[in-house]
Amino acid sequence: MKGIVLHGGHGTRLRPLTHTGPKQLLPIANKPMSQYCIEALKEAGINDIAIVIGGVGSSKVKEYYGNGKNFGLRFTYIEQDYPRGISHAISLCKEFVGNDKFVVFLGDNILRGGITKYVKEFEKSNTDASILLCEVDDPSQFGIVEIENGVIKKIVEKPKNPPSNLAVIGVYLLTPKFFDIIPKLKPSWRNELEITDALEILLEEKQKVIVNTVTENWKDTGTPEDIIHANKFILENMHPFCDGKIERKTYIEGKILVGKNTIIKSGAKIIGPVIIGNNCIIKSKSKIGPNVSIGDESIIDNCDIADSIVMSHCTITCPLKIRQSIIALYSKILASESKTDEKQFLFGEGTTVIL
């Protein structure tokens, strides 16, 4: 089988984080969210992967992933000039797929537990499509499947009156028959070729489409709040390690992951789960956690951070309580005087704030 990771789109709901790069490169627990998709494909035995790119900062995707050698994989990059829908993006991969079955993975999916069992089942079956579902609280925001007596009755995209709460999460196992369906599609009200419409045509043509429900193992990443929740979701299941230095008289509680050459100074307090990247300095009087990711080369001094993501090359020096925040690369928060307020930040790359 082959894999396709969709890495395009504008990520408008995540601005300003996505003004300088694609949403799928935003880090969850110090790793780009699309890397979780790629690792799931590799774990399932899929080594030949097409990455569909387009939009702001698509060159950063190539810079990060390269030809795949560093990941033990083979990557092919396919350009999509404008977001025209998932089915359109898949259509660009027809030559890459050839006669193989394939898996399409939306690059902003966080799926715990992988897809290996679904891939193995699909490889052996005569099924034309297999889609993964998860129960959601707000089904009007997703593609929704209606099932009756174990049989799919209907698939609709972001319905005003959802027939169920079973959302299509963005992992599709398909055969080359899918490429015969795409020319039959008409653009939706969003002017996109919707994959839900393509799956609906498969059903109408009596092709075999099955579903699997992944229960609580999937997290959406459409909003900043979703990303912060996904960060907690991943951190809770990571294995602790310490490749840095923790000085004496440092308070440590819970699960922590500390990168190479990072120093946690005496007097700091870390409450897990927390991940801290390489070459960081966590100075005294700092309180980090729970549910915090701090990227490489960052300096944290005399502040209190919880339920937040701080990306690489950041400097935060201020006695603030920072909560439910995402602070992008190369950002700085500096205080010229003592402040103890609780703040929530959403900073794009290179932001500097002096309080």
Average pLDDT over residues 293-306: 95
Pick the closest to residue 3 from 138, 96, 131 (CA basis). 96
Strands 74-79 and 129-135 come out as: unpaired
Pick the closest to residue 106 from 213, 3, 7 (CA basis). 7
pLDDT digits (tens, 9 = 90+) for 118-151: 999 999 999 999 999 888 888 887 888 888 777 7
Residue 106: in which H helix or E strand, if any? Answer: strand 102-106
pLDDT digits (tens, 9 = 90+) for 173-227: 999 999 999 999 988 877 888 888 898 898 888 888 888 888 767 877 878 898 9
Pick the closest to residue 57 from 21, 4, 107, 27 (CA basis). 21
Instruction: With a cut of 70, say whether residue 338 has pLDDT above it.
Output: no
Pick the closest to residue 90 from 103, 76, 72 (CA basis). 103
pLDDT digits (tens, 9 = 90+) for 22-32: 788 899 999 99
Choose the CATH number for 2-222 among 3.40.50.2300, 3.90.550.10, 2.40.30.260, 3.40.50.720.
3.90.550.10
Per-residue confidence (pLDDT) for residue 145, from 0 to 100:
85
Domain coordinates in residue numbering, the chain: 2-222, 241-354
Same fold, 2-222 and 241-354: no
pTM: 0.90
Q: How many CB atoms lie within 10 A of CB 301?
A: 19
Q: Which fold has domain 241-354?
A: UDP N-Acetylglucosamine Acyltransferase; domain 1 (2.160.10)
In angstroms, the first-to-last Cα distance of the chain is: 54
Instruction: With a cut of 80, say whether residue 314 has pLDDT above it.
Output: yes
Average pLDDT over residues 308-321: 93
Under the banding of pLDDT at 50, 70 and 90, the label for residue 250 is: very high
Per-residue confidence (pLDDT) for residue 87, from 0 to 100:
92
